[in-house]
Amino acid sequence: MGTALDIKVKRANKVYHAGYTLRCDMRRSLLAKDLTKTCEFIVHSAPQKRKLTPSPVAFTVTPETLQNVKERALLPKFLIRGHLNSTNCVITQPLTGELVVESSEAAIKSIELQLVRVETCGCAEGYARDATEIQNIQIADGDVCRGLSVPIYMVFPRLFTCPTLETTNFKVEFEVNIVVLLHPEHLITENFPLKLCRM
């Protein structure tokens, strides 16, 4: 009867909510209108069976602990301490921790959490590594009170994260950078690799 059925699956993650869309078009004869139906769905990998062991990390940042500094003497003095409750994270649970600016000569502009996805493709000639910022969350705005702990809290974006994946020639990994911006133009970054899993 000249009726055709098309099913298209399209990935669309730039919009606010949608994982994949499933679109079904039914073409019909001249006298009848075509029918269309779209449906959204999100693909999850299967939960893992193993038990998650919490792995807390404490950190201290001072001018001395920094690498990549050209002129250490020009840096204002500061002491930032903190901890992440765990770098092994359940993807549905937020990343948590605390950060304390114990002291800082320069005024603080902003403190941010930067979530980075690192995709690595390996082959005979070597490997290609591609790091993308997938979320940036500000946890402190302005010159925060000294000695008062600021919570570290970040929800993993549903559409941009997946459990950490490691195969022989393909890897998807996640990292979080704690970025401290000081007045006038200082940027301090502390990097923590994460291990995400779905329980």
Partner 1 sequence: MAVFPWHSRNRNYKAEFASCRLEAVPLEFGDYHPLKPITVTESKTKKVSRKGSTSSTSSSSSSSVVDPLSSVLDGTDPLSMFAASADPAALAATTDNSRKKRDRDDNSIVGSDFEPWASKRGEILARYTTTEKLSINLFMGSEKGKAGTAISAMSEKVRTRLEELDDFEEGSQKELLNLTQQDYVNRIEELNQSLKDAWASDQKVKALKIVIQCSKLLSDTSVIQFYPSKFVLITDILDTFGKLVYERIFSMCMDNHSILPDHFSPENVNDTAKETCLNWFFKIASIRELIPRFYVEASILKCNKFLSKTGISECLPRLTCMVRGIGDPLVSVYARAYLCRVGMEVAPHLKESLDKNFFDFLLTFKQIHGDTVQNQLVLQGVELPSYLPLYSPAMDWIFQCISYHAPEALLTEMMERCKKLANNALLLNSVMSAFRAEFIATRSMDFIGMIKECDESGFPKHLLFRSLGLNLALANPPESDRLQILNEAWKVITKLKNPQDYINCAEVWVEYTCKHFTIKKQEITPHPTLKPPILSSQSQPWKLKKREVNTVLADVIKHMTPDRAFEDSYPQLQSIIKKVIAHFHDFSVLFSVEKFLPFLDMFQKESVRVEVCKCIMEVFIKHQQEPTKDPVILNALLHICKTMHDSVNALTLEDEKRMLAYLINGFIKMVSFGRDFEQQLSFYVEARSMFCNLEPVLVQLIHSVNRLAMETRKVMKGNHSRKTAAFVRACVAYCFITIPSLVGIFTRLNLYLHSGQVALANQCLSQEHGTLLFRDICRASAHNRQQWGSSADAFFKAAISLVPEVPKMINIDGKMRPSESFLLEFLCNFFSTLLIVPDHPEHGVLFLVRELLNVIQDYTWEDNSDEKIRIYTCVLHLLSAMSQETYLYHVDKVDSNDSLYGGDSKFLAENNKLCETVMAQILEHLKTLAKDEALKRQSSLGLSFFNSILAHGDLRSNRLNQLSVNLWHLAQRHGCADTRTMVKTLEYIKKRSKHPDMGHLTELALRLPLQTRT
Binding site for partner 1 (CB under 8 A): 14, 16-17, 94, 107-108, 111, 135-145, 148-151, 153-155, 157-158
Q: How far, in Å, CA of 102 to CA of 100, rounded?
A: 6
Which residue's CB is nearer to partner 1, number 25 or number 112? 112
Closest approach, Cβ 17 to partner 1, in A, equals: 5
Closest approach, Cβ 86 to partner 1, in A, equals: 17
Which residue's CB is nearer to partner 1, number 149 or number 177? 149
Closest approach, Cβ 12 to partner 1, in A, equals: 13
Which residue's CB is nearer to partner 1, number 25 or number 143? 143
Distances (CA, A) of 183 to 102, 108, 111, 124, 188: 16, 6, 12, 46, 11
Long-range contacts of 60-67 (CB under 8 A, 24+ apart): 61/180, 61/188, 61/190, 66/188
Per the CB < 8 A criterion, the answer to whether 195 and 88 are in contact is yes
Closest approach, Cβ 59 to partner 1, in A, equals: 17
Q: How far, in Å, CA of 166 to CA of 120, rounded?
A: 9
Structure tokens at 188: 């301090």
Which residue's CB is nearer to partner 1, number 123 or number 148? 148
